[in-house]
Structure 1
């Protein structure tokens, strides 16, 4: 079986129950991620395994291409020691490192590895798995950041010749340097703007691999923390991973049945599968060449088909033996490669990642592997000094920005009675209730109308919010106060809750690092990641 896209909206129900240790979630994924004793048990299981022979020399070869770090070199060597374990996290190679949660993942891996090493007395190494096999350019091409309340954003275009090509084999287009120049201009007035711009410019160069650029930046940021970077899309790593790909090919029918049974088990407990399964191989195939487009081969009688032709199981088996780079992993196969190559004590992910691991225990058992601890990464709201000063002037805390903008604005001024905090509900409520009333009938006529109703709700809500904002501005101008407080409020919400979304899922690290310096930012994130807590915490570097 293969996989489709990760369903980001399906994580919350399972994840909340998983973190709370509730019975239904625990029966599917019995990890107990907030229990220190469960971590000890996971580390003990991992310590019985060894890093696969050949992995350490390949990691050393990969590290030689990164900015030098004696701490990283020592960490790689320690992976070969008896009893050594690792804490793994990973991410797609987003432009300029993508959203802040990239750093949050890395910082959590460092903090958890240090903690486990102290608890167990055995080496524990933080590993960052570069998701270089993925081909979804749209997931990595966009970048966003905030510089003193101003939202800086951009996007790299895609060449049609690179469609469905793994990120490892792509090249950054010339426009990356145009975007880099605009980011550098925005950062130039800030205390550490020049050093952050120079960091990005050293690595994000037109014609270079986005993987090399991403790896270079994160390697510099974590050069003192012993964070090991692993790129699976190399000839040596592909050869080491080949037994797992062969398992996916030879056991395709059994794996498919296990995933279907797991889908039923999830549904019985009121959950959905996070990664949609389909009648296809769990691995991707690169039929033209390793550097060419990749597809999940769909089952076709006793063989498989791809957009570039049909292939028998024997042909795929021979291709895998001859050139392992002609195959790559899907979301549900990558963890098995990880835990075949490494003595993984724990994998750290966001809500969606933790949730799709609930689909995998039967597949792990079929492969003869033990599932590691599955645990949430730390979640942060990072407040730079400039934003903190604006919040202080407004009399707000960083946590206040989780409230809707109209509710925060209501605290800035003694508005007329008819403009109280319930104005939005009075305007939206009747329409919202009427839409809810007609939804069942509309969906019965056409299931697609379900989504149309939700889009209508969202569209009207945006219009009402714009209307209320104009009312508030007019009231402030009429009172003689002016619009300064509203503008300041807009700046802090842009920084901490952009477009109503968590900061860590939108903005990159570079605006904050330019205010406080990269070392101070990394140190504060690693320190804040120490507690075993899934809650969003405020960090002020």
Structure 2
């Protein structure tokens, strides 16, 4: 495994400027993400604001992680959280089928590696925590995977058929074992059978059989892959999580107008700094969901009341506060309040997020302060591209740098295609045929005039001469077509492997496609790989 770090521009300019340490972006955050003094300062702040529910947090995490079959190494990490000098690095993702796209895997690896590094550098206990956003109800975002077609020139979107009604979340979406098995078999049938396939099939089916919901299946797979590396899992809808979040839900309702206004003001400052708005905010957002039955419904403020976005339910502030006290499980955070919940629950040293998440957190500094919290250190998630041997060879054959594929492939491809025009020898063949006719035809006519009996022989001789030229041209054209077909196929395979449907590999392709070739141990090698955790892009040659 060879690793190369390259600096690539991020699509989100605010996240890119933050990663590059530019003042225009840093002003929206509490700390510089790549300075050692940031971590010392953050620890001092955490020590001055004790996490009073450590034991209850550890009890709940221990119960859940045991239930999900997590490894003893992860359970040992949870016990460390009972100690006042233990901190966490945290990040999370939706509960994608079969762990979803590769960037979910990379986020977990980044958490583990960052926790180890900070623990060594700071000489304190640091625990990696993966937050499963099981309450997200946009099932269309998590019910599919992409994998290569048979000829490896494109990607195929495979979708699992889950029966669902209304705005049900992944943590409430019941697994149908038949649908899971059908999806697993379709996925594996479209991959070449290897000596690794049986182990992968067994892992997928075993974890599905042990799971009740889509979120459970995701958690069990993540525990099986990462538990031995000490990754602790938490799922957002767990009853103990709701109990611990109760005081913050109450404060969010009591200070709802203030929080919404602070977000609006943050957006104005972001725009003044020259950045595009990252979130859709307005002064009437409640930044909370409420469950009515199995449906998770967004709340908004209308005058003195709160109502669900679909306008079917309405509540007073006092009614919401009473519900929080009696049934905290009825409430759920949105993208804004989720950040606060993480900060409330955990002694967070650093948060690791993707480009969009980093840009979202630019809104939160004043909101955190209003509720007595402080933004943790926000670290951009590492990005990775895996390059297998065949693709590496094809890149070399085309003299195509992988950086070009990842940053301006469409420009390169257009330029390359413009160079694939028919060979200029085609015109030379046409000119030669014309010249032969001009030079040889008069000779044939003179032969026929002198001896009409040689007409048939002379005509055949002339036709054969032209046919030989045509034969050579045809053979050249066939050779060109073969070479062109090979080159075009090579370009398509590079695109499907590294830039499927125009986005980076990590946003489409599945870890299990690579594990089927390289083994589940590939993940262990990636966890131990010497990645640069500085925001640069990591290119891994397998």
The TM-score range, normalised by the shorter chain, is 0.7 to 0.9
| 1:170 and 2:173 matched | yes
Q: 1:410 to 1:14 in 2, by over 3 A?
A: closer
| 1:282 and 2:287 matched | yes
Name which of 78, 87, 95 aligns with 2:97: 95
Aligned to 2:541: 540
1:139-188 CA deviation, whole Å, 9 max, x = no partner?
11121123782634212345452x21222111234433222111122334
| Conserved 8 A contact 2:290-2:332 | yes
Aligned mates of 1:110, 1:124 — CA distance in 2: 10
Once the two structures are overlaid, the 10-residue window that deviates more, 368-377 or 192-201, is 192-201
Q: Structure 1-normalised TM-score?
A: 0.81
Q: 1:475 to 1:201 in 2, by over 3 A?
A: farther
Aligned mates of 2:519, 2:369 — CA distance in 1: 46
Q: 1:178 to 1:39 in 2, by over 3 A?
A: same
| Conserved 8 A contact 2:92-2:130 | yes
Aligned to 1:325: 329
Aligned to 1:358: 362
Name which of 198, 203, 208 aligns with 2:202: 198
| 1:184 and 2:185 matched | no
Deviation at 1:207, TM superposition (A): 7.7
1:77-128 CA deviation, whole Å, 9 max, x = no partner?
1111121011001000011111100011000001110010001111100000
What secondary structure, in the 3-state scheme, does the structure 1 residue paired with 2:128 have? strand
| 1:415 and 2:442 matched | no
Once the two structures are overlaid, the 10-residue window that deviates more, 36-45 or 317-326, is 36-45
Aligned mates of 1:479, 1:491 — CA distance in 2: 18
Once the two structures are overlaid, the 10-residue window that deviates more, 164-173 or 236-245, is 164-173
Deviation at 1:224, TM superposition (A): 2.0
What secondary structure, in the 3-state scheme, does the structure 2 residue paired with 1:274 have? coil
Aligned to 1:404: 409
Aligned to 1:84: 86
What secondary structure, in the 3-state scheme, does the structure 1 residue paired with 2:146 have? strand
Aligned to 2:113: 111
Aligned mates of 1:310, 1:262 — CA distance in 2: 28
| Conserved 8 A contact 1:11-1:274 | no
Aligned to 1:377: 381
Aligned mates of 2:421, 2:296 — CA distance in 1: 60
Aligned to 2:463: none
What secondary structure, in the 3-state scheme, does the structure 2 residue paired with 1:28 have? coil
Aligned mates of 1:389, 1:108 — CA distance in 2: 29
Aligned mates of 2:206, 2:13 — CA distance in 1: 42
Q: 1:87 to 1:365 in 2, by over 3 A?
A: same
Gaps of 5+ in 2: 1-9, 425-475
Aligned mates of 2:400, 2:227 — CA distance in 1: 36
Aligned mates of 2:135, 2:347 — CA distance in 1: 21
Once the two structures are overlaid, the 10-residue window that deviates more, 74-83 or 197-206, is 197-206
Once the two structures are overlaid, the 10-residue window that deviates more, 273-282 or 124-133, is 273-282
Residue pairs, 1:375-524, within 5 angstroms: 375-392=379-396, 394-402=398-406, 403-404=408-409, 407-408=412-413, 415-416=420-421, 478-481=480-483, 483-524=485-526
Aligned to 1:35: 35
Name which of 210, 235, 248 aligns with 2:214: 210
What secondary structure, in the 3-state scheme, does the structure 1 residue paired with 2:362 have? helix
Deviation at 1:405, TM superposition (A): 5.5
Residue pairs, 1:118-129, within 5 angstroms: 118-129=120-131
Aligned to 2:226: 222
Aligned mates of 2:517, 2:389 — CA distance in 1: 7
Aligned to 2:353: 349
Q: 1:523 to 1:275 in 2, by over 3 A?
A: same
Paired residues, what number?
Answer: 473
Deviation at 1:371, TM superposition (A): 1.0
| Conserved 8 A contact 1:156-1:175 | yes
Deviation at 1:532, TM superposition (A): 3.0
Q: Structure 2-normalised TM-score?
A: 0.81
| Conserved 8 A contact 1:113-1:125 | yes
Gaps of 5+ in 1: 1-9, 420-473
Name which of 54, 57, 64 aligns with 1:55: 57
Deviation at 1:377, TM superposition (A): 0.7
> CA RMSD for the aligned pairs?
2.7
Q: 1:318 to 1:11 in 2, by over 3 A?
A: farther
Aligned mates of 1:226, 1:133 — CA distance in 2: 24
What secondary structure, in the 3-state scheme, does the structure 1 residue paired with 2:148 have? strand
Q: 1:409 to 1:513 in 2, by over 3 A?
A: farther
| Conserved 8 A contact 2:102-2:506 | yes
| 1:75 and 2:77 matched | yes
1:293-327 CA deviation, whole Å, 9 max, x = no partner?
12222212221122332211111111111110100
Aligned mates of 2:341, 2:354 — CA distance in 1: 20
Q: 1:533 to 1:177 in 2, by over 3 A?
A: same
Once the two structures are overlaid, the 10-residue window that deviates more, 83-92 or 304-313, is 304-313
Deviation at 1:489, TM superposition (A): 2.4
Between Structure 1 and Structure 2, whose CA radius of gyration is higher? 2
Aligned mates of 1:332, 1:228 — CA distance in 2: 23
What secondary structure, in the 3-state scheme, does the structure 1 residue paired with 2:101 have? coil
Aligned to 2:467: none
Deviation at 1:363, TM superposition (A): 0.9
| Conserved 8 A contact 2:30-2:376 | no
Aligned mates of 1:479, 1:299 — CA distance in 2: 65
